[in-house]
Amino acid sequence: MAFRQLLEMRRSVRKFKDTPLPGELLAKDCALAASYLMLSTASRGLGSCWIELGRFIRDPDLIRGIRLPEGAEIHAPLVVGYPAINPAIPKRNPPDIINLTWKRNQHGHLYGTH
């Protein structure tokens, strides 16, 4: 979904509820969308990185350069591109599996043993 569509959706929700969206909810939604975008880019061989400082862009020339619509806010700034290297997947250790057995003590309370 394009950024402009997300912005328009936000505006339509505002009209529907007749109240502004809480900033915290918007930030969480953007973070969730960004995380899925990052997973999607990785599955396509691209690299991505969340650049938190991008939320604090105030330079008018830069804002014009990225074509940020008036009234829009930056919540989840990402850079996406082809990585210079793709590191190998690290070897994983086998999981430690703990089997618990539940027993009752002389007072009738449950406790776990392994």
Tens-level pLDDT at each residue, the chain (114 residues) = 566 666 666 665 555 555 555 666 788 888 899 999 999 998 898 999 999 888 888 899 999 998 988 888 888 899 999 999 888 888 989 888 877 788 888 888 877 776
Map out the domains of the chain as residue ranges: 3-84
**pLDDT reported for residue 54:** 86
**pLDDT reported for residue 17:** 52
Long-range contacts of 46-52 (CB under 8 A, 24+ apart): 46/80, 46/81, 46/82, 46/83, 47/80, 47/81, 47/82, 47/83, 48/78, 48/79, 48/80, 48/81, 49/78, 49/79, 50/76, 50/77, 50/78, 51/77, 51/78, 51/79, 52/77
Distance CA 77, CA 84 (A): 21
**pLDDT reported for residue 14:** 52
**pTM (2 d.p.):** 0.55
